[in-house]
Amino acid sequence: MVLKKGKVSDRFRFALGETTIPSVTEKPVKSLGKIFDSFLKDSAAIKQTKRDLTIWLTAIDKSGLSGKFKAWIYQHGVLPRLLWPLSVYEVPTSTVEALEKSISQFLRRWLGLPRSLSSIALYGHSTKLHLPLSGLSEEFKVARSREVLMYRDSRDTKVTAAGILVKTGRKWQAQEAVTKAEVQLRHKTLVGSVATGRVGFGCFPRPRYDLARGKREVQTDSGRDTSRGGGRTLHQNGRHVQTRSVDQVGTGRSPQNHLGRALESRATLDQVPCPIRLRRPPKPSQPAHLGPGRHS
């Protein structure tokens, strides 16, 4: 491939013996799943990834399997296969969010959930009832953050000094996310173990970032928690709410609509404080407090 003023030129041809090597204009080159053509852009590859995702989801939808098996195929078959092209091409975050939106529509239909159910209840892991599903946007951000750490912390000095930039658009930048996660980890190291409630020091030990061996995994886990920061659940009147797995609901024995009811009631209903839930019945040993003018 010969570039002249930013365009591919076919003026010069190369040969190996008597065999002429075709240029990328005649035959695109595919290496590690990435296609190099004469346009030198990723727009065509991104459109092809969108078409492939639509074909995969439609095929799963028409397979005749039950909803939970369709969701399992997405989690362990479609998602890993989709993350690779999103990692090798320069895909903006807005495009990934659009893909996640179409995936969520199929998942809600397969699991019998209402269309108004938010993505926090669908992909969140801090809700009262969490599903074993991963959001495409979250996995995309984690993969790109790992790529930043791989280039920066490489043992090869040439790779480190190359200054490779991981481009993810203007909405979310991987370098800033990694820096923010590292700052949070350093702050946790400086704070150390603190007392929580009535328990003493050291009852809830925290891992030390500066002493961890797999720092890259610790950094990506912190970045994963940062991306979930908008999906924190509210505690009911200051009381801790335990999380439950989807396996504890019994989706294998219950009808499919039971899962939708469980998600609606446990994921959102008990988490939002309201005046009715702020009123607690008095204890048997204490007299009920009546408002002024209501004493008998």
Residues 141-152 have pLDDT tens digits of: 999 999 898 888
Q: Cβ of 127: how many Cβ atoms within 10 Å?
A: 22
Query: What pLDDT was estimated at residue 245?
Result: 47
* pLDDT at residue number 226: 59
Averaged pLDDT score across all residues of the chain: 75
Using one digit for the tens of pLDDT, what is the confidence trace for 72-127?
999 999 999 999 999 888 899 999 999 999 999 999 999 998 888 888 888 887 77
Q: How far apart are CA 199 and CA 219, in angstroms?
A: 28
Please tell me the pTM assigned to this model.
0.68
Planar angle of CA 215, 181, 203, nearest 5 degrees:
70
- Per residue in 257-287, pLDDT (tens digit) is 555 555 555 444 444 444 544 555 555 555 5
pLDDT of residue 72: 94
How high is the pLDDT of residue 14? 75
Domain residue ranges of the chain, discontinuous segments joined by +: 1-40, 42-196+207-237+257-278
The letter for the amino acid at 177 is A
Tell me if 131 sits within 8 A of 167, measured CB to CB: no
**Could you read off the pLDDT of 180-218 as tens digits, one per residue?**
888 888 888 888 777 777 777 767 777 776 666 555 555
Across 222-239, average pLDDT: 49
Find the distance separating the first CA and the last CA of the chain, reported in whole Å.
95
Q: Cβ contacts of residue 275 below 8 Å, gap of 6+? A: none
